[in-house]
């Protein structure tokens, strides 16, 4: 394998585990039930410098790579925080990556130091109601205002954390018509309530962190808010999308790990017919299989992260890691629920929360089917099927 562990990784795991230990399952159950953002947890993570772990040191960040960020998110999810905890911090970790890579000095100086200390909350605006997975169909328009700036009009959906965020990394069309990846540009815009309407989308799980529909109605954007080159926004945003897949793989693995942990604990304690249910192969073998699948997915996640951090193409590995982690996470959560039986369906045992959150990974940020399309076409060289 091309990567190897280092002492810093062990220190990261221990430190993040210590922060997460302050927030038990009941805290996360309450946040999810009440649709309440986990501010207390977020502030502890920000105070420890974890939110800005992948932001360069010159801007006050940790100067670490996507590998280290993925480890942080994995441990958050594995603590029982699941997607509610990891989603609260991960957008700053990957969302500003295109700014780090392509942003002007003015843009970096204005926003990266605040993001590094957790003072700046960031949303990610790509998906649209009529475009979905087909990013080339994006119709949100950033029109020239005649003074060197832009005016944004359009709609985005599934914008995570928009309610708490001050800015959004927004992909909009500056040139051409929908149907092409050319002419898309990337901006870091203010979510100014005078021009932006944000509405949470009711959903099955991960309710502590809202996903929103966001309508932009003539939002003025200064020219210096353009990230990188005009018309090259899709290429720039790939430096957010591939890390996103890697980080989400880490989160999914952590969610699966805590589900297996809770199921194993229950299987050791619960006795039926005079012995622990974990002594039965029908219980033990599926949990063992879930553990192995999660380990394999985590290994691929680390491999993808290593490639990204070393400047190598990682599209195949990042997509593969996300696919494997999503499948392994859901199977682990589903088996945990099966292990607990009827109690697995009860809120107080928390497994149902993991199960609801794990299902999301097979849908977002890209469906498993589209990941298979990517691998078939780009890696195996098969004809495009869509």
* Mean pLDDT within 296-301: 98
- Quick one: pLDDT at residue 350? 97
For residue 278, give both structure tokens: 């974990």
The better pLDDT of the pair 302, 386 is held by 302
| CATH fold of the domain at 235-379 | Butyryl-CoA Dehydrogenase, subunit A; domain 3 (1.20.140)
Helix 82-95 vs helix 351-360: crossing angle, to nearest 10: 40
CATH number for the domain formed by residue range(s) 7-116: 1.10.540.10
- Quick one: pLDDT at residue 125? 94
Q: Alpha-carbon distance 109 to 103, whole Å?
A: 10
Lowest mean pLDDT among 14-23, 30-39, 127-136, 288-297: 127-136
- Quick one: pLDDT at residue 5? 60
pLDDT of 189 over the 80 cut: yes
Domain boundaries in the chain?
Answer: 7-116, 122-229, 235-379
Summarize pLDDT for 54-85 with one digit per residue, the tens: 999 999 999 999 999 999 999 999 999 999 99
Counting residues of the chain whose pLDDT is more than 90, the rounded percentage is 91
* Mean pLDDT within 282-304: 98
Summarize pLDDT for 19-61 with one digit per residue, the tens: 999 999 999 999 999 999 999 999 999 999 999 999 999 999 9
Summarize pLDDT for 233-251 with one digit per residue, the tens: 999 988 778 999 999 999 9
* Mean pLDDT within 355-359: 97
Summarize pLDDT for 15-24 with one digit per residue, the tens: 999 999 999 9
pLDDT of 335 over the 70 cut: yes
| CATH fold of the domain at 122-229 | Butyryl-CoA Dehydrogenase, subunit A; domain 2 (2.40.110)
Q: Alpha-carbon distance 344 to 265, whole Å?
A: 13
């Amino acid at each position: 394998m091309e990567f190897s562990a280092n002492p810093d990784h062990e220190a990261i795991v221990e430190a993040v585990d210590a922060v997460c230990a302050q927030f038990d399952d009941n805290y996360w159950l309450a946040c999810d039930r009440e649709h309440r953002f986990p501010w207390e947890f977020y502030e502890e993570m920000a105070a420890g410098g974890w939110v800005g772990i992948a932001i360069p040191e010159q801007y006050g960040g940790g100067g670490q790579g996507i590998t280290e960020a993925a480890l942080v998110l994995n441990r958050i999810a594995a603590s029982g925080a699941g997607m509610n905890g990891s989603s609260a911090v991960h957008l700053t970790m990957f969302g500003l990556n295109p700014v780090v890579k392509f942003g002007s000095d003015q843009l970096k100086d204005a926003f990266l130091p605040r993001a590094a200390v957790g003072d700046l909350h960031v949303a990610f605006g790509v998906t649209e109601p009529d475009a979905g997975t087909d990013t080339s169909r994006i119709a949100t328009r950033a029109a020239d205002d005649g003074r060197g700036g832009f005016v944004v009009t359009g709609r985005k959906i599934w914008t995570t954390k928009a309610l708490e965020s001050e800015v959004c990394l927004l992909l909009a069309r500056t040139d051409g018509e929908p149907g092409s990846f050319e002419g898309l540009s990337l901006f870091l815009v203010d979510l100014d309530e005078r021009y932006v309407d944000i509405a949470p989308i009711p959903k099955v799980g991960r309710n502590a962190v809202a996903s929103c529909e966001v309508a932009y109605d003539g939002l003025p954007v200064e020219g210096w808010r353009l990230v990188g080159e005009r018309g090259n926004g899709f290429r720039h945003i790939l430096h957010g999308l591939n890390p996103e897949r890697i980080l989400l793989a880490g989160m999914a693995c952590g969610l699966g790990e805590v589900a297996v942990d809770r199921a194993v604990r229950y299987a050791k304690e619960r006795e039926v017919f005079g012995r622990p249910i974990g002594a039965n192969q029908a219980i033990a073998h599926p949990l063992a299989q879930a553990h192995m699948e999660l380990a394999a997915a985590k290994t691929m996640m680390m491999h993808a992260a290593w490639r990204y951090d070393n400047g190598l193409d990682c599209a195949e590995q990042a997509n593969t890691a996300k696919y494997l982690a999503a499948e392994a996470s859901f199977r682990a959560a589903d088996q945990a629920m099966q292990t607990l039986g009827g109690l697995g369906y009860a809120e107080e045992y928390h497994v149902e929360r993991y199960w609801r959150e794990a299902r999301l990974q097979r849908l977002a940020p890209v469906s498993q089917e589209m990941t298979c399309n990517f691998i078939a076409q780009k890696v195996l060289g098969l004809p495009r099927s869509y």
